[in-house]
């Protein structure tokens, strides 16, 4: 091969290479131009999902297509804005909130709802649950709720608390009486009594009654009565008494154990008794001397002469309503209170008196009757009234009732 031929082949090869390079460059240019055009036709999208924000470009036709490109499966309870069928526009923002199941447990009833809300408060509002001021919610209203979380609600109800003498209305979510006492910080002593079982269920309008019991010691001093001893004194007229020695009460100290319920005493037990002072016996002399008034001196015991006289002796003057009676009157025994036998001595001058006005045994002068002995009493003879002993009924009827002047001589 000649040098010329070889030169032609070289230049021909060089030309082919240049053409190929030009084609390659053209192809690259077209490719770049096509890519640039493809990318330029994409729309800018902002996607907010699961608390994150992502910006990207897409040729997707609808919101649903965009989510599918991001491998997001739309649930039936999810919230998408705008809707899944909305056409894509440049600069669009898509907000996808995935719904989650939340169990709401309220008073032993459970309901599951699907929600896109994040806080307990918003979830309950969406579910239409109304809360009272005393209701208990767990977790708290401001807490965020995740998947498979539960919300527990205890609805409060009123309970009557009778603690001792005090009665109050209390809002409670407790389930048992024991739980209620714990939640209300109510302490019971060993003696206090709960009027219901601690494990009893607590229901609306239940009554929790506590009896506050206490034991206290009471020391008191009490008087003890003295005895009265009597002795016969034949120097005193019968019916009269004379105190020889005054009696004195004793004193005993007693220690009691007292049980009180709600501040009121329910029992008292004597624990110890101690004599502080012994009582002193009262000694009284009782007269046994029989006074005998007679018109003539016949008595061997006491001889007291009485006559009609004018009562010139000094003495206490009184005015009395006077009546007359005989030894044989209805209900009469014939023996006076001082032992004078009027039945055997119908002429004796004796008057019945009220001993608190005229002492028994006193010698008296009675206007129109004369001197006499206050030796008898009577059920109707009270105050300023006297009854004059006369021999027979005729004299008694004739005397009738009159006011007389009397003089107590001794």
Among 39, 123, 42, 120, smallest CA distance to 77 is for: 123
Nearest residue to 84 via CA among 103, 64, 108: 64
35 in any annotated domain: no
Q: Which tens digits make up the pLDDT trace of 373-397?
A: 999 998 889 999 999 999 998 998 9
- The DSSP-derived string for 332-396 is --SB-TT--BTTT-TT--EEE--TTTS-TT-EEEETTTEEEEEEE--TT--SSEEEEE-SSHHHH
The answer to whether residue 47 is domain-embedded is yes
- Domain end, chosen from 285, 307, 332, is at 285
Residue 191 covered by a domain:
yes
Question: What CATH number does residue 319 fall under?
Answer: 2.40.40.10
Print the SS3 string covering 4-17. Answer: HHHHHHHHHHHHHH
* C-alpha–C-alpha distance, residues 252 and 188, integer Å: 37
300 in the same domain as 202: no
**Statement to judge: residues 274 and 181 lie in one domain:** no
Say if residue 119 is in the same domain as residue 93. no
18 located within any domain: no
Q: Do the beta carbons of residue 385 and residue 345 sit within 8 Å?
A: no
Is residue 120 one of the residues assigned to a domain? yes
- Domain presence at residue 20: no
DSSP one-letter code for 196? S
Please report, for the domain that includes residue 147, its CATH number. Answer: 3.10.20
State which of 264, 285, 306 marks the end of a domain: 285
Specify whether 175 is located in the same domain as 226.
Answer: no
Q: Please state the φ and ψ torsions of residue 17, each to the nearest 5 degrees.
A: -60, -40
Residues 149 and 259 in one domain: no
State the DSSP string of 43-56: EEEEEEETTEEEEE
In a domain, 276, yes or no: yes
pTM score = 0.49
Is 27 a domain residue?
no
What is the rounded distance in angstroms from the CA atom of residue 329 to the CA atom of residue 101?
115
Count how many domains the chain has. 5
* 394 in the same domain as 312: yes
Separation of alpha carbons 293 and 290, rounded Å: 10
> In terms of domains, do 404 and 305 share one?
yes
Residues 316 and 383 in one domain: yes
Give the structural domain span for 165.
157-211
Please check whether residue 134 is in contact with residue 114, taking contact to mean a CB–CB distance below 8 angstroms: no
Q: What is the pLDDT of residue 371?
A: 93
92: CATH:
3.10.20.30
- Scanning 41-158, the segments in alpha helix (DSSP H) are 63-69, 120-127
**Residue 334 sits in the same domain as residue 379:** yes
Is residue 302 domain-shared with residue 314, that is, in the same domain? Answer: yes
What confidence score (pLDDT) does residue 296 get?
34
Task: Choose the final residue of a domain: 71, 97, 123.
Answer: 97
CATH of the domain at 229: 2.20.230.10
Rounded CA gap, 221 and 97, in Å?
87
Closest-CA residue to 373 (of 409, 321, 343, 331) = 409
Note whether 86 and 145 are same-domain residues: no
Instruction: Say if residue 145 is in the same domain as residue 75.
Output: no
Residue numbers in the chain where pLDDT is lower than 70? 1-11, 14, 26-27, 29-41, 147-148, 239, 290-312, 410
């Amino acid at each position: 091969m000649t040098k010329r031929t070889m030169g032609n082949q070289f230049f021909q090869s060089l030309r082919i290479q240049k053409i190929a390079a030009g084609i390659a460059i053209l192809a690259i240019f077209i490719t770049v131009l096509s890519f640039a055009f493809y990318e330029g036709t994409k729309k800018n999208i902002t996607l907010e999902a699961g608390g994150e924000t992502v910006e990207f470009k897409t040729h997707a036709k609808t919101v649903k297509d965009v989510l599918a490109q991001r491998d997001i499966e739309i649930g039936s309870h999810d919230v998408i804005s705008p809707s899944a069928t909305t056409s894509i526009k440049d600069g669009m923002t898509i907000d996808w909130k995935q719904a989650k199941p939340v169990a709401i447990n309220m008073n032993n009833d459970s309901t599951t709802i699907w929600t896109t809300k994040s806080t307990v408060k918003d979830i309950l509002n969406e579910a239409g649950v109304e809360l009272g001021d005393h209701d208990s919610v767990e977790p708290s209203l401001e807490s965020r709720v995740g998947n498979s979380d539960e919300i527990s609600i205890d609805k409060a109800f009123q309970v009557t608390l009778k603690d001792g003498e005090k009665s109050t209305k209390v809002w409670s979510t407790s389930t048992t009486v024991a739980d209620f006492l714990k939640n209300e910080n109510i302490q019971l002593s060993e003696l206090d009594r709960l009027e219901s079982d601690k494990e009893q269920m607590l229901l609306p309008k239940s009554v929790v009654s506590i009896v506050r019991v206490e034991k206290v010691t009471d020391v008191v001093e009490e008087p003890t009565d003295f005895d009265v001893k009597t002795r016969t004194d034949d120097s005193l007229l019968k019916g009269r008494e004379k105190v020889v020695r005054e009696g004195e009460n004793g004193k005993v100290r007693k220690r009691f154990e007292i049980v009180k319920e709600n501040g009121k005493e329910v029992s008292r037990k004597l624990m110890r008794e101690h004599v502080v002072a012994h009582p002193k016996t009262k000694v009284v002399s009782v007269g046994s001397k029989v006074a005998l008034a007679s018109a003539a001196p016949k008595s061997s015991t006491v001889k007291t002469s009485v006559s009609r006289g004018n009562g010139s002796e000094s003495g206490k003057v009184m005015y009395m309503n006077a009546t007359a009676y005989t030894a044989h009157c209805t209900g009469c025994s014939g023996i006076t209170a001082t032992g004078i036998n009027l039945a055997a001595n119908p002429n004796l001058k004796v008057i019945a008196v009220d001993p608190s006005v005229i002492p028994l045994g006193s010698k008296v002068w009675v206007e129109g009757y004369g001197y006499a002995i206050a030796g008898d009493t009577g059920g109707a003879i009270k105050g300023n009234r006297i009854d004059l002993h006369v021999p027979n009924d005729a004299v008694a009827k004739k005397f009738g009732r009159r006011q007389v002047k009397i003089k107590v001589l001794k």
